[in-house]
Structure 1
Amino acid sequence: MEQLNGRVAVITGGASGIGLATARRFADEGMKLVLADIEQASLDRAVAEFRDRDVPVIGLRTDVGERAQVQALADAAWDAFGAVHVLFNNAGVAVYGPVQEMKHEDWEWSIRVNLWGVIHGVEAFVQRMLDQDEEGHIVSTASFAGLVPNSGLGVYCVTKYGVVALSECLYRDLRGTKLSASVLCPMLVKTNIGDSARNRPEELGGSSMVRKRNQEEQESLQGRTLQAPEVADRVLRAIKRRELYIITHEESREFVRRRFERIDRSFDAVS
């Protein structure tokens, strides 16, 4: 999908972090933008930024955990621009702590946003994109934690492993069509996800049910911290090259290799 000028991109979590950085890259390519975010003030600022640049853009406050709201986002995109060519399922949240300490609300909130949010995006957009019979691409944000287990991120890993599996299956199922799919698997990126509890619904525990990493845990994290624009560059390249896996950190390779070596060794016990 080399030609992006004049095409339409929908980005959830589009008002900050990786979503906003990628929106800026898309705008540089001449794309029209549909931004979705749960934070209205941030969304308004992002929309204003692009309008100041004369970029065709609309913004819609969207809770991706609500199927009806994602469907409304799709309707708004087609109503505004008549087509969608890139869907970036990017909205996400994180909770931290050992699996055995997680509350039901931690699981429900994380799965609702991180996994159901992507499922809702696929449900609302993909068939309509296929019906257009034009080139298109679906990108979904997972994580390094969707490829390798991370201590203290069990709930997050479960959701992100799901996003990886969904994307891999979607990539296969779209073979022979004009669409393709990618899954973004970064390590640390400078975004607001560490403060995602600011948007946690009260009925699912609110911001009071937050356990943050202590200093020792924070310092034990592996890998560099990238800036969001660096990740946006990789997303753009993957769309143009129809790459399935979007890996941002070279240092994640060793951890992935060791995981699959452990799996491979388990076959030695088969007899």
Structure 2
Amino acid sequence: MMQADRFAGTTALITGGVSGIGFGIARAFAQAGIELVLTWRNRAHRDTTARWFADHGLPSPRFEHLDVTDRARWAELAAQLGPVHILVNNAGISVFGPTDCATHADYDWIMGVNFGGVANALVAMLPGMKALDGPRHVINVASMAAFCAGPQAGIYTASKFAVRGLTESLRYNLMPHGIGVSLLCPGLTQSNAWDSALKRPARFAESGFPAIDADELAQFGTAFDLGMDAFEVGCKTLRGMIDNRPLILTHPDHREDFDAIAAELLAALPDEPIPAGRAHIEDLRREANRAALAGSQIRISDLT
């Protein structure tokens, strides 16, 4: 296990860090002596967060206005912020509706924020992080939807599956540079994530989803009141980063789902011999993964 104080004095950039899970992570990090840069879009949430830090005698974060889909703004931040040792890609939207009715606008909005926002952050911030020494870490926040699909969350689920796949691969790429990578998949958490549908930008107005029923949406929001406290999620995230865990699961609620997924996967495998050539290629892939985690940079030639 790593030293709990090894990240003290480093700087963390947390997107969407002024509410919900992002704010929970920010509080946990601040209490561990990590300096904070928090991005925001809602002025009221930003001001509430600033007051919380002042009231608790903790150093004020640096606040930066950011739409995570804005690549030009990402480039500005990368040039202006100075050293960033920890990148937490937390900002996202929770928008639901029947996937068979979705339009291009629905796909572009949800995927653009939830996956595109992560990609934009990595392109902007990784060069600077790779140039630093000492402890560094990337945390990509997905959701239990990265494992568990549902009938009302097709595009949201796709975005979280995409973040999961990207993060698992990125760990192999960044380990040789001494940068840890974790996928955070929280379950139901107390937050305002349920009202994302009310914040749809005008350029994505042509939705195929049913018109928003305010009462139905508010009823859906009551589920979030039953969720885990965001600070508890933040504390578990901090521990996962300190231990350099590839996967940080904060909720014990999904064992039944994982049992069913594992059983379905194993049952779907054909029970037949594997040709020696194919088996050799898969062995090379596994060996390359092990070598990457041990610090080697892997080339395409290592896979054949």
Q: What's the TM-score once normalised by structure 2's chain length?
A: 0.79
- Over residues 56-92 of structure 1, what are the superposed CA-to-partner deviations in whole Å (9 max), with x where a residue is unaligned? 52111100011112222333321xxxx1111110001
Task: Identify the match of residue 22 of structure 1 among 7, 21, 25.
Answer: 25
Could you tell me which runs of 5 or more consecutive residues in structure 1 were left unpaired when the two chains were aligned: none
Equivalents in 2 of 1:269, 1:7: separation in Å?
51
Match of 2:9? 6
- Over residues 182-213 of structure 1, what are the superposed CA-to-partner deviations in whole Å (9 max), with x where a residue is unaligned? 11111211111101134321111299954679
Match of 1:265? 267
Equivalences for residues 72-151 of structure 1 within 5 A: 72-78=76-82, 83-151=83-151
Match of 1:173? 173
Secondary structure in structure 2 of the residue aligned to 1:189:
coil
Equivalents in 1 of 2:213, 2:145: separation in Å?
18
Check the 8 A contact 1:15/1:42 in 2, yes or no: yes
Check the 8 A contact 1:36/1:73 in 2, yes or no: no
Match of 2:35? 32
- Over residues 229-248 of structure 1, what are the superposed CA-to-partner deviations in whole Å (9 max), with x where a residue is unaligned? 11111110011000011111
Check the 8 A contact 1:44/1:59 in 2, yes or no: no
How much does 1:48 deviate? 4.4
Moved over 3 A (4+): 206-215
Which moved further from structure 2: 102-111 or 51-60?
51-60
Identity %: 32
Work out which of the two has the higher radius of gyration on C-alpha atoms and give 1 or 2.
2
Is the alpha carbon distance of 1:206 and 1:86 closer, same or farther for their aligned partners in structure 2, counting shifts above 3 Å? farther
Secondary structure in structure 2 of the residue aligned to 1:226:
coil
Q: What amino acid maps onto 1:60 in structure 2? A: E
Is the alpha carbon distance of 1:56 and 1:132 closer, same or farther for their aligned partners in structure 2, counting shifts above 3 Å? farther
How much does 1:218 deviate? 5.1
Check the 8 A contact 1:33/1:57 in 2, yes or no: yes
Task: Identify the match of residue 47 of structure 1 among 46, 50, 53.
Answer: 50
Check the 8 A contact 2:190/2:228 in 1, yes or no: yes
Q: What's the TM-score once normalised by structure 1's chain length?
A: 0.88
Is the alpha carbon distance of 1:75 and 1:43 closer, same or farther for their aligned partners in structure 2, counting shifts above 3 Å? farther
Match of 1:162? 162
Q: What amino acid maps onto 2:269 in structure 1? A: F
Equivalents in 2 of 1:39, 1:124: separation in Å?
23
Is the alpha carbon distance of 1:75 and 1:197 closer, same or farther for their aligned partners in structure 2, counting shifts above 3 Å? farther
Q: RMSD of the alignment, in Å? A: 2.6
How many residues are aligned here? 264
Is the alpha carbon distance of 1:140 and 1:253 closer, same or farther for their aligned partners in structure 2, counting shifts above 3 Å? same
- Over residues 12-64 of structure 1, what are the superposed CA-to-partner deviations in whole Å (9 max), with x where a residue is unaligned? 01110111111111111111110102223322332344355351521111000
Could you tell me which runs of 5 or more consecutive residues in structure 2 were left unpaired when the two chains were aligned: 274-304
